[in-house]
Amino acid sequence: YLIYDYSNVSCSVFLQLAKRGMKVVLISRSKEKLDQVSSEIREKYKVETKVIVADFGEREDIYKGIKAGLEGLEIGVLVNNVGMAYSYPEYFIDVPELEKVTITNVFLLQMTRLVLPGMLERSKGIILNIASAAGMYPTPLLTLYSATKAFVDYFSRGLHAEYKSKGIIVQSVLPYYVATKMSKIRKPTFDKPSPETYVRAALGTVGLQSQTNGCLAHALMGWVFSFLPTSATINILLNVNKQIRARYLKKMKEK
């Protein structure tokens, strides 16, 4: 079984693995969307699917329900991809609903604790934690989002070191921009690939790297940034995000 939260990127991960005959557990807050995706996948790939409705933005203990829903299942692959990005780059004090931006970390820890014991019993398993290239360096005007993704990256690499000798692969995936609704990029390009193109490349790195940018274009971008002093990178990111913020606010005023 593969278990994941619905998004364009994680859905593409699921599609690639479903082609190989993996059964799937889908977790998200929208039952309607889950049922639709589940039905489409069963018809196309002839694999078993199960849906679990859970709103990770709520404060109630949703993990008891998830644990009950996973009872008796052997989870071979866990894809952690829950989180909220800013609507646009903004100064920290003006970011709304701070607690919702940080749900990535709570979900990551709780779902890993639920699934990892079963993997250890079988001495095999894969955990893919979707972070972001924004977590590779402090990213001004996306400061909190950047910090949550840095947590995902550090946690993943540390966990991999702890459990790789026990047959568990943990990978941190740090994409730059991918053409998704969240990134507001409609047309894929070489450096902004479609989710399908990105995921095909990223899955090829599983078991080879504990940390990956996922695809060739993003790896090259990461390589270029690695030669810059951290202070220079932070200044570049600040200026870029200031421009994006200005364009967004101007567009909002014109409406």
Q: Name the active-site residue from 145, 176, 177, 198.
A: 145
- The torsion angle over the Cα atoms of residues 38, 42, 45 and 49, rounded to 10 degrees, is 60
Asked if residues 151 and 105 have their Cβ atoms less than 8 Å apart, the reply is: yes
Enumerate the H helices of the chain as residue ranges: 8-18, 31-45, 63-70, 98-101, 103-122, 143-163, 195-203, 216-226, 230-254
145 is catalytic: yes
Tokens of 36: 């639709």
Give me the sign of the Cα torsion angle 193, 196, 201, 202. positive
Backbone CA torsion sign across 148, 149, 150, 156: positive
> Residues with catalytic annotation?
145
